[in-house]
Amino acid sequence: MKLKQYISFVVISIVMHSCTTVKPYQKTRLNDSEMELSIRKIQKAEASFQSYREGAAGANGGKAGGGCGCN
């Protein structure tokens, strides 16, 4: 296993192992609108121009291809 893969595996394992059950009343900070795990509506035009001007797309809640004349 390459060093980078090994480090990624160790970091992910440590993070996942440190998971704690968070009760609904403890989610005040997690429920903040800035904590959303997706691109926000105001960023969609940015994601759209990036999908035209760059070769990579997808895995960000948008499209990985198709739907427009982009790459």
Partner 1 sequence: MRKICLVLVGIYINMLGAFAQAVDSLPYKNRKLKVEEINFVSSYYHQEGNNSAVTGGIGTEKLSDYSNTFDVKLVKYDKLNRKRNLDIYVGVDYYTSASSDKIDLQANSSASCEDLRVYPNVSWSIENEEKGTTVGTNISSSIESDYLSFGFSGNFSKKTADKNGEFGIKGQVYLDRVKLVLPIELRDGTRDFHDYDKTPRNTFGATLSYSQIINQRLQMMMMIDVAYQKGFLGLPFHRVYFMDSTLKAEMLPSTRFKLPVSLRANYFLGNKILLRSFYRFYKDDWGLKAHTMELEIPVKITPFFSFSPFYRFYTQQGIDYFSPYRSHALTDRFFSSNYDLSSFDSHFFGAGLKIDPPRGILGNKHWTMIELRYGHYKRSNTLSSDIVSMNLKFK
Q: d(Cα 52, Cα 40) in Å, to the nearest integer?
A: 19
Report whether 65 contacts 58 (CB < 8 A). yes
What part of residues 25-64 is at the interface with partner 1 (CB under 8 A)?
Answer: 26-27, 29-30, 32-38, 40-46, 48-50, 52-61, 63-64
Binding residues for partner 1, how many (CB under 8 A)? 47
Q: ∠ CA(35), CA(29), CA(40), 5° rounding?
A: 15
Q: Which residues bind partner 1 (CB under 8 A)?
A: 15-16, 18-22, 24, 26-27, 29-30, 32-38, 40-46, 48-50, 52-61, 63-69, 71
